[in-house]
Structures are given as structure tokens and as C-alpha cells.
Structure 1
Amino acid sequence: MLMCHVATSILAMASSQRQLLSDHEIVATHLSRYCAYLVAYSPKLLPDDAVWCKSLYTAVKKDAERSLAGSGITISTSEMDYGRLVELLSMRSKHHVLRDGVELGWRLAELPEGEEVAWKALAEFWSETASCDDMDEHAEAIARGGELITLLWALLYHVGSVDDATTAATHGAADDVV
């Protein structure tokens, strides 16, 4: 998930010169940012071990900050030189998740078929990734006011868009919540 978030961010920087964003780009960037938020602040809502997710996020973030140190570029800079960023992260990063994400983002930006093919693929990836499997944590999140992904799952469950395996496994949790 983090590698694809890095790739999505790199492609967004490569595309930042355009004024008009495609629907696929909007979906991909918003879901990517939201999933990165979940990794950093609500890892219990993800299928992987929460402690592992949090430590991976911390390690990748520290590696990005270290890689960009002294360059005048920070990971929170919104408008930066795409080429310089890719160069610095490619040369200086030590964490494979960050390196692989930068390479994937660069490759997507350079697709001969064009950016829209890359944005469509990322939008589909993030749409599938944003679905959830563990309903116990999501049921608790709804009771507290919920995370967006939990509320979306509840909506999809009730309109019949959740697959049969997930529906059967989580039927009781969703009925208790809604």
C-alpha cells in the first residue's frame, strides 16, 4: 500500500503541470492519500498487523526525510521539481518500499500509452484496496463516528455491492452496527 502511495504521489507530481484533472486521477490521489492516512493513524482498520503497519510507515517516512535532507525539498512540499525529487529519492533512499514506489511512479509517468492509462490502473487499484475485510474494527469505528472507509463499506454492504464471502463473514457485525 505504501509503495503504491509513493508511486501515486510521484505520478501526481509528474502530472502537476496540467490544470484539468481526470476523474481517474482524482479518485486515485484521494484514495491513495486516505489509505496512507489509515496506515499512519488508523492501522487497525487495515488487514495487516497494526504495529507492523505503523512501524513500516515510520521507517519509510524517516527514509524519505533523510533522503531529501539538505536538498531544500521536504516531503510536505506541494510544488517541487519532479525530476529532482525522483533523482534524490532514487539515489539516496535505502528502504525498498520507497525505492520501489519511486521507480513505479516514474515508470507510470513514462508509459507510452499515456498518463490516463496509468491513472485508470491506479484508480482501479485504490478502489479495490480501499475495500475492507475485518469488520470487527470497522463496527467499532462506526460506533465512534467511523472512518470514511468503514462508512463506505456499510453503504456498499446494504446495496449489495460487497462480495458473498465478505458478506457471509461479516453479516452479523454489519447488522449489529446499522
Structure 2
Amino acid sequence: MKKTLQIHQATAKDHQVIKEILTQTAEWLKSIGSTQWSEVLQGKDNHNTPKAIERGEVYYATLDGKVAGMFILWNQQSNWDKEMWGADNQEWMYLHRVNIMREFAGTSVAHDIVKEAKKIAMERQVKGIRLDCMAEKEYLNAFYKAAGFTFVKEIKNYDTGVEKADFNLYHYLLP
């Protein structure tokens, strides 16, 4: 019997759940030697998640009542997005922080979460979704390509505030 993923728009009461998902992912990244998301473990929130929750841009997924993952789908560009993409006149949504609880690794949950983000963007009648990911993260790049995103360009030697890294930009054009 196939389990059904449910997407929930986070509210202020869900902030702790969102924080736990982000922390678990940051701890896992650290355990595999990555500095990505290390600011989360230092108590920093570069994405101002509480404000994003207030704006209705944070979503989490449950599978049979268990928290399975989350994503942020911004209605407008952050400063980060403007630096990566340039100004866009709000034609796009920006996908960030797609992550899953470790117990769901190796399942279709991450793909299902991205499908749900696409549905939300379609409802908002935007041109599509944009995202960035570190160029060195082969798995993530392959994941987004498999999810239908098209490589746009690479940003070389971008200073994240934690490290300098190359980033790949992807977009998904809505039908």
C-alpha cells in the first residue's frame, strides 16, 4: 500500500518542527565532512525562517503522520537570489532548503516534495522555479536534473560567508 505524502504550510506553531528538520540535516552534512549549512548548527538563520513562515513560504511534509522533510518556496527574491540571478520582477519563485529527515533517505520523498513545490508555483501562476546548489554536490545536481530542472549557468567562487564555492543555477519552466 502506497503511503501518501501530505504537504503543510508552516505556521508559527511549527517553527520548532522546521528547526529540528534543518538541524538534523545540518548535523548529517557535518557528519559527512561538509560545511554546508554549518551556520544552522551555530544558531544562525541566513534564511530568516520565522519571517518566511509568516509570509507563508515554508512548507513541511508528513508521511503517515511522521515529519518527512521541508522546503522554502520564496515568492520574491532574497538578496542571495538577486546576487545569483539578477533582479527578476517577481516572475519566478525561489526554491531553498529542500531536505528530508534521514529516515526517509533513499525513498521518493525528496522527489515528491519537489513535485509539490512545482504545484504551488503553478497555482501562483509564475513563470517557473529557480534554485541554486553547490556545483561540487554531484548528487544534488543529478537530483535536480532528474526532477526536470534545467541547468542555466555556473557562478564561480561565490563567497557564502562561510566559504567560497561554485554554484550551479537551475530553473524549471512551468507549462
When Rg is computed on C-alpha atoms for both structures, the one with the higher figure is 1
TM-score norm. by structure 2 comes to 0.30
Q: Which has the higher contact order (CA 8 A, sep 6+)?
A: 1
TM-score (norm 1): 0.29
Higher helix share: 1
